[in-house]
Each structure stands twice: as C-alpha cells, then as structure tokens.
Amino acid sequence: MERSDVLLERLTSLHPKKIDLSLGRTLDLLDKLGRPQDRLPPTIHVAGTNGKGSTIAFMRAILEAAGKRVHVYTSPHLVRFHERIRLAGTLVDEDALARALDECERVNAGAPITLFEITTAAAFKLFSETPADVLLLEVGLGGRFDSTNVVERPIACVITPVSIDHVDFLGDTIEKIAFEKAGILKRGVRAIIGDQDPAARAVIEKRAAELRAPLTIGGQDFGARMERGRLVYEDGDGLLDLPAPKLPGRHQIDNAATAIATLRATFPDLTEEAYARGLASVDWPARLQRLTAGRLVDLAPAGADLWLDGGHNEAGGKALAEAMADMEERAPRPLVMILGMLTTKDSAAFLNSFRGLAREIVAIPVAGDHAGRAPAEIVTLAKKIGVEAREADTIEAALKTIAARVWPDPPRILVTGSLYLAGAVLAANGTPPR
C-alpha cells in the first residue's frame, strides 16, 4: 500500500459522513494553509450532471495542443486517487501527494472534515505551488456548497447538461438541481452553459441575471454538428471545420461544442490547428472506451467488441443507448450488457433506454464499500423491459458466461452502470488511466 493510501484511509475517519455539503470546513482549512485558492492559475470552473469530465478532457487536449500548461482536478478516480490531480499535464506523483496530504492533516489537527474537503484543499495547495497557464476545476457534487466553490474569481463558469441525479443531496426536481449547479456562477464572470432542459435553463438564466453574469448558451449562441465525417462548430464569430472528436457518441458533439465555446471566450488566441489537434487526440477513460487489449479482453468471445462506460443515471443511459444504436446501424451485432449499479441510482430509468436494443444483460455486483444493487434486482428490472437477463458473481465470470454462448455474430459487449465498476474493470484488465 502506498503512503498516500494510508493517509487517505486515516483521513476518512475525520467525519462520519462521506458527503456533507458545506464550504465552512474547507474555508477554515484553506485559511490555515495560507489561502492557496487565491494563488491558483486562471481557473475554469465546471459543474453539471453529465459531461463535466468529457468537456474538461476536450479543453485540456485543445489547450495542451496549443502548448499551454494545464492543471486538472476531477473526481472520482477510477483506479488510483492520483488520477484526480494533474499538475501541468502530469498526474501528481506519490511523493508530492503524500506531502500535501501530510501538511493538510497536520494543519487540520483532527478537526471534523470530509475526505473530499481535505483532499480538495491538498489539491489547491499543489496547484498553487506548480506554475501553469490554466486550472480546469470540476465540481465534485452540486456546486453551491461543493468544496471547489471557494475560487472567488474564475475566468469562466461552465454548466454542462443538468438532469436528475443525487436527489438525496441536491433535490428531487430538475429546478432544484439546476439551482445547486448555478451556485458556481460569479458576479460579472462569463458563464457558458450546455444545451439544457428548458426548466434547468430558466433557473440558470435567472441566477445569471441576478449576478449580471454574461451567458453563452448552447443551442442558441453556439452549437456543433457532424457533416461528412467532420465536426462543424458555429458561433457568433464564425465557423470552425474540425475533425470528428476521438470520443465516440452523439453526446460528445455537444460536449466538444461546450469546450470550444468556453475556450473561444477565455483563450481567443487559440488557433484552429489547436482545436483540430485537441479533438483528434482527446482521451477520457471509461467514457465509451473500447478495450482492445488486456486480461479481460482475452476472456471475451473471439471477435467481440468490448466497450466500457461509467454511465449511471437516466441521461447517461439515453446517451449510451444512442451511441449503441448508432454502432448497430453501421455494423449490426448483438448487444450484450454487463451491468453493475448502486442502490442510489435509478436503475429502471437507466435501463429503459435499452428496451429493444440490448439482446441480453448479465448483472454483477459492484465490489467495495459502495451501496451496490443486488444483481437479482437488476435481473428483475431487465426482464420487465423484455430483455433476457442472468447473474454472475464477477466481471470475469460474466465474460466467461457470454463466451460460452453461441452467437450468430461476435457480440458487442458494453460494461456499464457505475464509475466504480468501470474503475474495477480497468484495474482487472491491467489498463489503468495514465
């Protein structure tokens, strides 16, 4: 076990709740650390329900293609905690992470604080000490009371599509959730919002008007479409004719558009070549990632496609189903899903998008101390929408079950339902994020 793992395990005992949305504890610790949040590079703050990470991945790829040094903060991680903190283009190394966590633990002196709060403080300390041109900062949960919302003057605030998720913490309506996301908006700071549900958009527009924050709105002020295998981006400043994004799925067209709109507003010196190179090179693990080599790939049926995605809510299910339907149209194959989900997610809503599309579902548990849904419950839900379903104990067992079947064509296998499951799959396959 690495030293940082020992520290993280110890820090989890400082607060009885995993999630307890508040800014007070974070601000108290940051004050004791000398307010590193005031010494960050120019910061783009990103909230939303779906697409935050992909939008950040697009921005990072484009900025790095332009030669910029980019810090990135995202969550959760898939395999190692280090994935959450990227310093000037490189994942934080073990020594630096352990030193930052040590300092935060020492200064915090045993005061109650959640793991996300204290690790966010550690990230800010690291970001403040390492030169960079920009920080891409992802909200952990919600926005208004998220620990990242201590940056007083970002250069832009971004809200990707808002949908129903985390209702226990953010509210049970789209309007309540949008209000929490809109909590990252700052007075007079440009806000770029992805194409939204009308109810969510109304809430965000109201809050932006109160803060006199200029709004750039997806579907109104900017947009993108595919034409002849190319991405055509359009806004008030004109058109960009760009390569198709490396990340597959229709939803990634909208995420790419939001990323481009944000960078056009904040880094007007970026060239069309940087945008093109960024779209062609972008990487974001476990978001419709095709696994082509590794231990698990070897267990799949000969000739099968193995895809991995961390989608887990209704909107994520719709986006994934659209992507699978597009693949089916181009190259028909039976779709088999390996599905593991948490009890905190609406599994029925997620599954409903695959009605008539999935040939079979193999339900597996999500390992660890997460609130995993019993595979038997997933089987019951699958059968309610007319999809054949069965259980397996592990991802390995699920793949062996699929491989033992006789298929008319090699199947297309989609492993999905939870980012925690996606991380376990990448670890088991021997292909962790880098």
Beta bridge partners of 291: 306
Residues 348, 225 within the same domain: no
Predicted pLDDT of residue 93: 96
CATH number at residue 188: 3.40.1190.10
Query: For residue range 96-122, what is the model confidence (pLDDT) as tens digits?
Result: 999 999 999 999 999 999 999 999 999
Residues 151, 170 within the same domain: yes
The count of domains in the chain is 2
Predicted pLDDT of residue 116: 94
Low-confidence residues in the chain, pLDDT < 70? none
Predicted pLDDT of residue 201: 96
CA 19 to chain centre: 18
Burial category of 271 from C-beta neighbours within 10 Å (exposed 0-12, middle 13-18, buried 19 and up): exposed
Residues 235, 148 within the same domain: yes
Predicted pLDDT of residue 234: 98
Determine contact, residues 368/78, Cβ cutoff 8 Å: no
Q: Is residue 336 part of a domain?
A: yes
Query: What string of DSSP letters covers 176-230?
Result: HHHHHHGGG--TT--EEE-S--HHHHHHHHHHHHHHT--EEEBTTTEEEEEETTE
Which residue, of 281, 313, 330, is where some domain finishes?
281
Please give the radius of gyration of the chain, using alpha carbons only, rounded to the nearest integer: 21
Residues 80, 213 within the same domain: yes
Q: Is residue 327 part of a domain?
A: yes
Residues 306, 188 within the same domain: no
Tell me the C-alpha distance between 269 and 251, whole Å.
27
Q: Is residue 354 part of a domain?
A: yes
Residues 272, 325 within the same domain: no
Query: For residue range 190-225, what is the model confidence (pLDDT) as tens digits?
Result: 999 999 999 999 999 999 999 999 999 999 999 999
Within 33-157, where are the H helices? Answer: 52-65, 94-108, 115-129
Predicted pLDDT of residue 172: 82
Residues 293, 242 within the same domain: no
Which residue, of 265, 281, 297, is where some domain finishes?
281
Residues 186, 318 within the same domain: no
Predicted pLDDT of residue 31: 98
Residues 194, 60 within the same domain: yes
For residue 248, how many other CB atoms are within 10 A of its CB? 17
In single-letter form, the type of residue at position 359 comes to R
For residue 195, how many other CB atoms are within 10 A of its CB? 16
Q: Where in the sequence is the domain holding 397, given as residue range(s)?
A: 289-429
Burial category of 432 from C-beta neighbours within 10 Å (exposed 0-12, middle 13-18, buried 19 and up): middle
Burial category of 218 from C-beta neighbours within 10 Å (exposed 0-12, middle 13-18, buried 19 and up): buried
Which residue, of 281, 299, 334, is where some domain finishes?
281
Residues 377, 258 within the same domain: no
Q: Is residue 44 part of a domain?
A: yes
C-alpha angle 361/365/371, rounded to 5°? 125
Tell me the C-alpha distance between 20 and 93, whole Å.
28
Residues 236, 129 within the same domain: yes
State how far the alpha carbon of 105 is from the alpha carbons of 11, 113, 188, 265, 376, in Å.
Answer: 8, 10, 36, 38, 42
Q: Is residue 434 part of a domain?
A: no
Tell me the C-alpha distance between 396 and 400, whole Å.
6
Residues 102, 23 within the same domain: yes
CATH number at residue 347: 3.90.190.20
Query: For residue range 324-380, what is the model confidence (pLDDT) as tens digits?
Result: 999 999 999 999 999 999 998 899 999 999 999 999 999 999 988 778 999 999 999
